[in-house]
């Protein structure tokens, strides 16, 4: 029997993920013998129970459409969105189908997103994939190193009797006796196994149940849905190590068996890392993170099986064009365009109840509020709204909606053209349906008094707002392909181009660490975005050249409320280069 010291061990570092970078997502891919309809019903049941436990609205029953895929977006509460779609799989062979659920929920300074897909081919088992991700709303936001295992996974796995090829995928480690060793050996050697399998041994002289409860259970807490989990009792350990001479595990150690084990190869034994007992007991939480790293990596890098690869991209319903949007009733309510669910109607009534009086209009806004036929309305004050296409409502002062970004006929600076002053620009912000200005207009209006750059600053600001609007339209449908900086670098054909060098993702580390400068950039947002009604807006657009030229600061919340919040337009805020 080989010594474990000759086997590979886990490295000292748990990986580069951590605060300041994106959280490592959670991805689970399993199969079940249940029919597609039964597996989907169990998944919906677990999702509804989880939403209810989190004090959120339970979604109404899904009514699948016949034939072509049907997509719907429901708002279940403030910043809680549910997208549901389903239909035939793309590509041959015909006869496959899928159903998908995507839930976005608020997180500190960001949005948590959970996507669950059930897919079945014309033959074979039912596949289920679940992905959980975190999307920060700005740069420099501290996020957890890893997205934790969603609670819905722990409740769903036992109901599905989930499997990975020949191996069961449990929600918690299970004790294996000598009678089950042969089956475990077959599972480890089976070429159809895609997930790693974690096998724990029990130290001599300690009870199996106690070791499982005190050590192995907490150690494997981050592994449900990512690996097979076993604990060998004393007799099973002896029999297993005889069969797996070059891959033995004992003495309270835990070993991760990667796919494609060759039990007859001493060299292959070095490929399957061992976590020794002393490292587990010295730092249990660190040991749990080390143990979860390899299963997470494999889950992220593993290619999708053909059935799941045939699931088409999620296409969220497009926002209704301005000419088709339903008008807002002046005082007693509003007509909703499209299907409105019961939870959404509840949100509408609640937000109307708390609607605040309208503030005074900015200079020059009176003419901008003369809406033409068929024009809808959009808020330019404080709001809490679902993404366009959802069943939300907007609150606050309103101005008419008109599609921006094209140089309409008319004299320069006139109505329909590009504004040459910030007074006109601020009055026409309602032409950007997915942008909301939350700041103080005085800083922007004061730029007209400088007259340093003629109408150049106003024109460039308008260009930036136009590009932000077009980016937001794509982002709420999941089609932006990255953040606004990346959008500017690869602007799609037919869209308004904004110079990439003028789109800045975030502020410097110096600004982040300087309390006063950071406080200047904590700008107003609706309560549905942050409970404090303030958020750090490090992302900004450079308006004009020079170190102290004006800036436009914004918060991209397209993955949450489906909007971009512009918190400041004015002269450069304080930093090391300003006076």
Per the CB < 8 A criterion, the answer to whether 554 and 567 are in contact is yes
Q: What is the pLDDT of residue 142?
A: 55
pLDDT in tens, 74-96: 888 777 889 999 999 987 778 89
Measured CA to CA, the distance from residue 565 to residue 389 in angstroms comes to 18
Q: What is the pLDDT of residue 195?
A: 94
Q: Three-class SS string for 201-266?
A: CCCCCCCHHHHHHHHHHHHCCCCCCCCEEEEECHHHHHHHHHHCHHHCCCCCCEEEECCCCCCCCH
Mean pLDDT, range 444-458, rounded to an integer: 76
pLDDT at 553 over 50: yes
Mean pLDDT, range 190-219, rounded to an integer: 92
pLDDT in tens, 484-502: 998 999 899 889 889 988 8
pLDDT in tens, 158-189: 999 999 988 999 999 999 999 999 999 999 99
Provide the mean pLDDT of the chain. Answer: 77
Measured CA to CA, the distance from residue 499 to residue 481 in angstroms comes to 17
pLDDT at 507 over 80: no
pLDDT in tens, 114-139: 999 999 999 889 999 999 998 776 55
Is beta strand 228-232 parallel, antiparallel or unpaired with respect to 174-176?
A: parallel
**Nearest CA to 501 among 542, 538, 460?**
542
Instruction: Report the interhelical angle of 36-53 vs 151-160 (nearest 10°).
Output: 150
pLDDT in tens, 368-384: 333 333 333 333 333 34
Instruction: Report the interhelical angle of 181-189 vs 234-243 (nearest 10°).
Output: 40
pTM for this prediction: 0.57
Q: Which residue has the higher pLDDT, 350 or 270?
A: 270
Map tokens 């599972």 to a residue.
187
Q: What is the pLDDT of residue 340?
A: 37
Sign of CA dihedral 220, 225, 227, 231: positive
pLDDT at 575 over 90: no
And the tokens for 515? 């309390």
pLDDT band at 324 (very low <50, low <70, confident <90, very high): very low
pLDDT at 395 over 50: no
pLDDT band at 469 (very low <50, low <70, confident <90, very high): very high
């Amino acid at each position: 029997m080989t010594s474990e010291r000759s086997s590979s061990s886990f490295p000292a570092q748990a990986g580069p993920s951590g605060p300041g970078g994106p959280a490592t997502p959670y991805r689970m891919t399993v199969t079940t013998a249940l029919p597609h309809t039964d597996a989907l019903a169990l998944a919906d049941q677990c999702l509804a129970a989880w939403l209810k436990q989190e004090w959120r609205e339970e979604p109404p029953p899904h009514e699948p459409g016949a034939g072509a895929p049907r997509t719907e977006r429901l708002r279940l509460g403030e910043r809680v969105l549910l997208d549901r779609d389903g239909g035939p799989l793309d590509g041959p062979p015909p006869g496959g189908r899928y159903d998908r659920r995507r839930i976005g929920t608020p997180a500190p300074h960001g949005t948590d997103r959970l996507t669950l897909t059930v897919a079945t081919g014309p033959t074979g088992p039912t596949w289920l994939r679940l992905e959980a991700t975190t999307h920060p709303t700005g740069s420099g936001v501290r996020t957890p190193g890893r997205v934790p295992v969603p609670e819905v996974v722990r409740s769903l796995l036992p109901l599905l009797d989930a499997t990975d090829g020949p191996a069961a995928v449990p929600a918690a480690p299970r004790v294996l006796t000598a009678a089950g060793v042969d089956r475990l050996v077959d599972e480890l050697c089976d070429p159809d196994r895609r997930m790693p399998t974690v096998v724990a041994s029990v130290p001599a002289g300690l009870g199996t149940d106690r070791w499982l409860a005190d050590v192995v259970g907490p150690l494997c807490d981050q592994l449900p849905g990512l690996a097979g989990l076993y604990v060998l009792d004393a007799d099973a350990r002896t029999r297993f190590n005889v069969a797996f001479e070059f891959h033995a595990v004992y003495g309270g150690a835990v070993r991760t068996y990667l796919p494609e084990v060759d039990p007859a190869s001493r060299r292959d034994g070095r490929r399957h890392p061992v976590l020794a007992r002393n490292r587990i007991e010295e730092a249990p939480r660190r040991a749990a993170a080390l143990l979860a790293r390899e299963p997470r990596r494999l889950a992220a890098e593993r290619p999708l099986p053909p059935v799941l690869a045939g699931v088409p991209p999620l296409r969220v319903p497009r926002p209704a064009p301005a000419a088709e949007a339903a008008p807002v009733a002046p005082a007693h309510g509003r007509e909703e365009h499209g299907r409105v669910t019961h939870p959404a109607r509840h949100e509408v009534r609640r937000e109307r109840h708390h609607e605040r009086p309208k503030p005074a209009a900015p200079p020059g806004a009176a003419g901008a509020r003369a809406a033409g036929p068929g024009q809808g309305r959009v808020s330019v004050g404080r709001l809490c709204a679902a993404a366009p296409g959802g069943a939300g409502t907007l609150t606050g002062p309103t101005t008419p909606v008109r599609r921006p970004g094209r140089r309409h006929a008319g004299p320069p600076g006139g109505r329909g053209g590009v504004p040459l002053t910030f007074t006109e620009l601020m009055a026409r912000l309602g032409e950007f349906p997915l942008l909301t200005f939350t700041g103080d207009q005085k800083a922007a209006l004061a730029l007209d008094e400088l007259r340093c750059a003629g109408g150049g600053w106003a024109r460039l600001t308008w260009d930036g707002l136009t590009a932000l609007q077009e980016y937001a339209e794509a982002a709420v449908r999941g089609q932006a392909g990255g953040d606004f900086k990346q959008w500017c670098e690869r602007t799609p054909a037919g869209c308004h181009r904004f110079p990439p060098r003028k789109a800045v993702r975030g502020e410097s580390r110096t600004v982040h660490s300087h309390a006063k400068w950071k406080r200047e950039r904590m700008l107003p947002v609706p309560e549905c975005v942050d409970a404090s009604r303030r958020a750090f807006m490090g992302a900004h657009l450079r308006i004009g050249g020079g170190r102290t030229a004006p800036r436009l600061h914004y918060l991209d919340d397209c993955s949450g409320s489906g909007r971009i919040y512009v918190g400041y337009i004015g002269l450069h805020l304080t930093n090391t280069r300003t006076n």
